[in-house]
Every structure is written in C-alpha cells, then in structure tokens.
Structure 1
C-alpha cells in the first residue's frame, strides 16, 4: 500500500532555508565590519614588487604603494603624530613601499628605530667627508677654515599650513543634506555614523582643513576622503561615488568634496567619522543639532 507523504515533511526544508538566508545577510554585514577592524592588513598578501625591508612583527605594518602616514594611522586607530614618532619619520611624513612601521609604542628599553640609525650614520659620514684636516698655523700661513656641509632645514609637513594650534576654532557642519541616519556611532561596531540618501547627492567637508587622503586603498571604506582640520581632529567620508578632491587640497566647511555612493548593502550611504588624536569619537559631539526630513 502506498502511503501519502505528509505535507509537513515535504516542506521541512523551508524553515532551514529561511534561517540560512537570514544568517547569510547578517554575515555579509558582519564580514564588512570585520574587514574594517583588520589591523595593518596583516592577512593580505603584499602587492607584486613590494619587498619588506625586514620581517614584520604582529604589531607592525608593511607600507604599500599609495599608503600615507595619515591613512595607516587612520586604519589602525592611532594618532599620526605618534605613528611618526614611533618610527622616526620626519616632518615631511615621507614613507616608501616596503618599509616596516610600528603600529604601537616601542618598549621603553627599545633602541632607536633602524630608520633613525641610518639617518645618523649618513649624517656622520657626511660630516667626516666634508671636514678639512687642520694644518699647523705659522706667521706666514693664514689659519685654515673648516668647511662643513650647509645645513638644510627639514621640509615642512604637507598639512603644516593647516591650523595646528588649539582645536575648536571653527564650526562643524553636517557632511550631507536631506539624509537620514541609518546606523549610529557604536551600532554594529561602527566607528562613525552612516547616512542614507540618494546616490550622487553632494558630500560636504564638515569643517575647514587639508585633504590628507583621497583614494580607495583602505579596505571597508570604498572611495574614501580624509581631511585634517588641525593638530587634533580628522574627519573621514567613505563610500563616495566620486571624489572631487585630491591629497593636498585645502577645503572650506561646506565645500562639496564628493558624491554619495553605494554602501556594502547596495544602498545609498555615506560613512562619516571624526577622529580625535586618532581615536574615533561620536560625531554627534561635534555636529550641530539638526532634523532632516527622510530622503525619498
């Protein structure tokens, strides 16, 4: 005798499928957030042609083409001043692919970083090569003159003409108009605020400053712009469709710097952050009170 199949058995796969779809959606957002927390890209292979100058440690980073001190510090939640100090980087903030940089303060007993040792040896060699051997002085021989290499002032920081005095001498403004907050600071691990609106709508500089990064090399931020406002604050604008500014540009508060693009959920999104000495802070502490109508 043939038995009829029970309906609940024939549909037993449906709940499992729905659960799998939900978990897959959550995993998509989680993987995006986790990718933004990977410190120093340690798990990513180096680009072709980049050879580290030494074996990197667990809290060290190998410089890649297109990297800047500001971008590396931003990615690893450290102050760019500290990053430069830990690695003996001069005020020009010049780095090269293959250099291995510390991402944390060296131990108190640590010796001078190799980068500084090389500079000291070069300086000593230059001094030895340019000094003139002294000769005996007689009545008929004028005293010899010691010739030394002319001192060259160190180049200034590319952002040195931005106000590096006390922070707070300017007004912050919202980086986008007619948008709503889709994710607040700290929600799902967010280090900033995510706005949603319309693809292509203008993104504005939230305060005056200098652009210190404009590119897409920082995984988890899309087309990213970072602006230095003073010696304390940076702001970041992620997931632009277009970037209007390049590194070194001086911008004013409210100046259009890009266009809103699509975020990881394939929805219009601007990811906005404010960093205080390298640490992410809640942008609500700086942005003025404002109520925006939902974007349709």
Structure 2
C-alpha cells in the first residue's frame, strides 16, 4: 500500500519555510534582534534549526526547551550561539503578533546536485508527484544510502507521522531527507560520504516498508530524479 497523497503533502509541508503563512498575522510587532527568530504558524523546531544551519539540540539548549516538539507562534528563539555574558531567552513571553509579511518569491532554478540512488527498489509514486519526493518500495532492513556527501542535521522521530527521519545538509543550498526508516545508523552532527549506509528501510510512520526521499533546494522541494543517474 503506497503512502497516500495527503500524507506525502503533510511531509513536504512540514519541511517548507513558513513565510507564506506569516501573512495570517494581523497586527504589527517589534522586530527581533539579530541572532533570534520569531516563530511563525506552521514552524517546527527542526525546520527553524535547518534554515539557520543549526541542530535541534543546539536550539533546545540555547532556549531551555524541554519539549522540542512544542513551540508557540510568536515565540522568540535564539538561533545563533549566545556570546559571553548574554542571556539565553528560553521560552520567553510572547511579543506582539508579527506584522503581515509578503510571501517570499520562488527560488531560481536549482543547479543540479549529483546524487546516487538512496535505495534499491520500485518507485511507488507517479511522475506528477515527484516534486514532493519519491517513494521507493523494498524489504525491511534493505540499506539506505546517503545520496550525496554532507552533514546530518536531523536524526530522530520528532516529526509526528514520518517515522524515523534523517536529514542531510550537503551545502548552503541543498538538503536531502530520508523518512520511514527501520533503524538509523548515524546521528546529528555526523559527516557522511556519498553512498554510505545511513539507515535501514522500514515502515515507521507509514503503512508499508518503503523509503520516502526528498531533495530540497533552498528549502523548496524539487524533483530528485533530475539529479539521479
């Protein structure tokens, strides 16, 4: 049984920037200082960390967050390391709601990143849905490989519904995501090489054994098959 379109859409939405949703706010607010970020509707701590080149663990430590899955709209979070003598805001009191924001323009066409296939198996999704990633069916325990060299910026089950998830940052523009794994063989902060075994295939967070794989360019999902051999 394939991952249905609604589930695939929710996965994609969980990793997108929330700039469009910021337009839902209705009253102005004071700007946040450099090194801080105001939480927008639809944000997750993982997404905020990834967009700022940090890890979830760093943001949780700098902001005294005990539950990394619970953040509030308009909460101000530190996203850069505190300097000596500076205070960590933690879960600070909410400022006034944010000023309506203009949706960000779509990124320019992505230069290709040379990838290898992250798993062997049958592609389960049609070409019409590839911009939300591809699903590759296989057997439990099949190896999942890093599609390109990079650094693991997320490893865990903190995004509900997506099972055991890995996200690898390849450079300032590109990320790849690997969902529904049975076991994770690397951790946040690890550097991995292209083709390295990073996980095993499973059905965590879905209804069949499969890998959901995404390629993201500046936060926007793009068709990964354009970069695969």
Q: Where on the TM-score scale, by shorter chain, does this alignment land: which range?
A: 0.5 to 0.7
Question: 1:60 Cα shift?
Answer: 3.7
Correspondence for 1:131: none
Match of 1:72 among 47, 65, 70: 47
Question: 1:264 Cα shift?
Answer: 5.7
More strand by share: 2
Instruction: Determine helix, strand or coil for the equivalent of 1:241.
Output: strand
Question: 1:62 Cα shift?
Answer: 7.5
Q: How large is the RMSD of aligned CA atoms in angstroms?
A: 4.0
Match of 1:176 among 119, 132, 138: 119
Q: How does 1:60-209 map to 2 (within 5 A)?
A: 60=41, 67=45, 71-73=46-48, 80-81=51-52, 94=59, 95-96=62-63, 97=65, 171-177=114-120, 179-184=121-126, 186-187=128-129, 191-209=132-150
Return the TM-score normalized by structure 1: 0.48
Correspondence for 1:280: 221
Return the TM-score normalized by structure 2: 0.60
Extract unaligned runs of 5+ from structure 1.
1-24, 41-56, 104-112, 124-166, 289-296
Correspondence for 1:137: none
Larger relative contact order (Cα-Cα within 8 Å, sequence gap ≥ 6): 2
Correspondence for 1:229: 170
Structure 1's 183 and 235: CA in aligned 2 closer, same or farther, altered over 3 A? same
- Cα distance in 2 for partners of 1:93, 1:185 equals 38
- Count of residue pairs the alignment pairs up: 172
Structure 1's 255 and 277: CA in aligned 2 closer, same or farther, altered over 3 A? same
Extract unaligned runs of 5+ from structure 2.
19-37, 87-110
Question: 1:101 Cα shift?
Answer: 6.6
8 Å contact from structure 2 (residues 148, 194) kept in 1: yes
- Cα distance in 2 for partners of 1:240, 1:34 equals 18
Q: How does 1:30-69 map to 2 (within 5 A)?
A: 32-33=7-8, 35-36=10-11, 37=13, 59-60=40-41, 67=45
Structure 1 residue ranges, 4+ long, deviating more than 2 angstroms after superposition:
28-40, 57-63, 92-103, 113-116, 184-187, 263-266
1:203-262 CA distance string (max 9 Å, x none): 000000000000011123210000000011000000000000000001000000000002
Question: 1:100 Cα shift?
Answer: 5.0
Instruction: Determine helix, strand or coil for the equivalent of 2:176.
Output: strand
8 Å contact from structure 2 (residues 162, 206) kept in 1: no
8 Å contact from structure 1 (residues 73, 278) kept in 2: no
Instruction: Determine helix, strand or coil for the equivalent of 2:4.
Output: helix
Question: 1:196 Cα shift?
Answer: 0.3
Structure 1's 175 and 102: CA in aligned 2 closer, same or farther, altered over 3 A? farther
